[in-house]
Amino acid sequence: MKPTERTENWRKARQYTPEQLVKARVVLEEVRAGIRLDRALRANPMPDGRLIAKHILVAAYRQLVEEGEWPEDPSFLARIRMKPVRTLSGVTTVTVLTKEAPCPGNCIFCPTEEEMPKSYLADEPGAARAYQNHFDPFDQVTSRINEYAAVGHPNDKIELLVLGGSWSCYPRPYQEWFIRRCFHAMNADSLHEDALPNNTAEPAPHERAFIDLAELQRAHTLNESANHRNVGLVIETRPDDIDRDELVWLRRLGVTKLQMGAQSLDDRILALNKRGHTSADTLRAMTLLRAAGFKIVLHWMPNLLGATPDSDREDFARLWDDGYAPDEIKIYPTQLLESAELYRYWQRDEYTPYTTEQLVDLIADIKPLIPPYCRVNRIIRDIPSFHVVEGNRRTSLRQDVQREMQQRGTACRCIRCREVRGQVVDAATLTFNDLVYTPAISEEHFLSFNTSTDQLAGYLRLSFPRSGAPDLAIPELQDAGIIREVHVYGQSLPVGSEREGAAQHSGLGTRLLEEATSIARAKGLRRLAVIAAIGTRPYYAARGFVQHELYMVKDL
């Protein structure tokens, strides 16, 4: 099926009957009158007994606004929005997957499924969307943006998350085409028909040498003012794929954040699980990434072959004691799946999965150790439980751990646990904090504005290379402090919109940049560089930064 046909089928699926819209209006009127949404929905079922879906409520609300019967009311839309937490971190995440490709790794814990990239299953939520769209990047981005719009979420600030195995193992022409087509999708509804790109086909195997950087640059430039601006671009790869040339290439693509599978920091465990790299490779990769200003997400896996709960506790402590200090972390307990080589070890009684109780106990022990500059993105993968042969099958592991910590009277101070999210913020009452820490060969400043209850309204990551830091020979980074991230929390709001008390529009980003500038000046540096995502370039340009080849730079 052609991409246009798939898109048309999606649109037909989103068409609503007059009966559905009439019923939705009844529900909306009751909610507007003060009745709770769940009660209004239950009181007004369809004739077949089903409740009105929230995307139909959103469609009816928009129809009322367009017809002039109701004034536009973002706060009302927020009340009927499906899963508001998805955009409460301040951005809207769009996940896409690359196609099936060979992987250089032989990790025994990794599942293998035909037609899927290594380690992904076709019925994982993000992977399922990719499979349904035949891994076409344009269709994946377009359908996800449309889905967000249908359930009332803003989608003008997009963090693009590219998954699907080790990114660095795909041919560069495919990488460039994939990213370019993602940007085409984000730009599409901002262009006139005569401005649409011509070079859209995936490079054929005999054209592997062709890379259209000129068209990619054009797509980048268009995105600076598009309706769906890219405010972050994330890929995942292996530590042993990171070198100076790779980082320069990733910057040309627009990448701002990398996810890496550390899995363990114990070389014995890494060897037993056939990971193919060492802990030293991981540390070296992290020093290179920091020197280049990238944000770093590490994957860490308890319950690998050869590990015990006690050895996992020791291993986790190394993340913070031995110079790794990731910005974000995904805790992915090993899951025993029949398509993984680890299954054979289990059959031979050479491997025992942890029980749910053991995992909850372990993670409740280690979570309070996480420093306040790190964010715990996930505590378990979205693998459907029926795939798990033995061991933990609960996908609500994060909630289980939180309950256990509450019973113990302990707490986690990671970023995710302290985000203000949708709360009203009075910027005048916030406290500025400069948390300094020193991972391998860099001095990091985690600048933040905190509420009186220690919740985060916004933060900035500022990095200064120390003696022994790798010289990447990138002119923009010479004698420069590096801003690796600026993030202000609260419900993602449309570009240019304002809402009283919303953290995103209280000037916190500008104040954080001013603090970073003062610190860099005090150190006697000549410039401040920022690893700006494509869609954030106008924001930084308005604050004195100038676009160079790979980074935006402000002379001090």
- Report pLDDT digits (tens) over 77-134: 777 765 554 444 568 999 999 999 888 889 999 998 888 998 899 888 888 889 999 9
Q: Which one is predicted more confidently, 322 or 426?
A: 322
Structural domains of the chain, count: 4
Domain with 138 in it: 90-234
Residue 32: pLDDT over 90: no
Question: In terms of domains, do 179 and 95 share one?
Answer: yes
Q: Contact, 293 vs 342, CB < 8 A?
A: no
Phi, psi of 138 (to 5 degrees): -60, -45
Question: In terms of domains, do 545 and 465 share one?
Answer: yes
Which of these three, 30, 54, 80, is where a domain ends? 80
Question: In terms of domains, do 196 and 333 share one?
Answer: no
Q: What is the pLDDT of residue 195?
A: 66
What DSSP designation does 281 have?
H
Cα separation, 159 vs 303, whole angstroms: 31
Is residue 436 in a domain?
yes
Q: How many CB atoms lie within 10 A of CB 462?
A: 26
Residue 266: pLDDT over 60: yes
pLDDT digits (tens, 9 = 90+) for 52-86: 777 777 777 877 877 888 887 777 777 776 555 44
Question: In terms of domains, do 208 and 294 share one?
Answer: no
Return the minimum-mean-pLDDT range out of 23-37, 285-299, 428-442: 23-37
Question: In terms of domains, do 49 and 132 share one?
Answer: no
Question: In terms of domains, do 324 and 412 share one?
Answer: yes
Is residue 195 in a domain?
yes
**Nearest in space to 199 (alpha carbons), one of 189, 186, 184, 187:** 184
Question: In terms of domains, do 299 and 175 share one?
Answer: no
Residue 410: pLDDT over 60: yes
Q: Which one is predicted more confidently, 311 or 502?
A: 311
Which of these three, 395, 418, 441, is where a domain ends? 418
Is residue 133 in a domain?
yes
Question: In terms of domains, do 221 and 245 share one?
Answer: no
Is residue 266 in a domain?
no
Question: In terms of domains, do 56 and 177 share one?
Answer: no
Return the minimum-mean-pLDDT range out of 250-259, 282-291, 491-500: 491-500
Question: In terms of domains, do 357 and 385 share one?
Answer: yes
Q: What is the pLDDT of residue 500?
A: 46
Q: Contact, 89 vs 419, CB < 8 A?
A: yes
Question: In terms of domains, do 70 and 118 share one?
Answer: no
pLDDT digits (tens, 9 = 90+) for 157-189: 999 999 998 999 999 999 999 999 999 999 998
What does the pLDDT average to over 280-303?
A: 98
Is residue 271 in a domain?
no
Is residue 267 in a domain?
no
Please give the helix or strand (H or E) that residue 284 lies within, else none.
helix 279-291
Return the minimum-mean-pLDDT range out of 29-43, 425-439, 466-480, 487-501: 487-501
Return the minimum-mean-pLDDT range out of 80-89, 310-319, 420-429, 531-540: 80-89
Question: In terms of domains, do 63 and 95 share one?
Answer: no
Is residue 119 in a domain?
yes
Residue 145: pLDDT over 90: yes
User: Which among 14-18, 105-109, 285-289 has the top mean pLDDT?
Assistant: 285-289
Residue 367: pLDDT over 70: yes
CATH no. for residue 475?
A: 3.40.630.30
Please report which confidence band the pLDDT of residue 238 belongs to, taking 50, 70 and 90 as the band edges.
very high
Q: What is the pLDDT of residue 95?
A: 96
Residues 67-94 as b/e (b if ≥16 CB within 10 A, e otherwise) read eeebeeeeebbbbbbbebeebbbbbbbb
Is residue 270 in a domain?
no
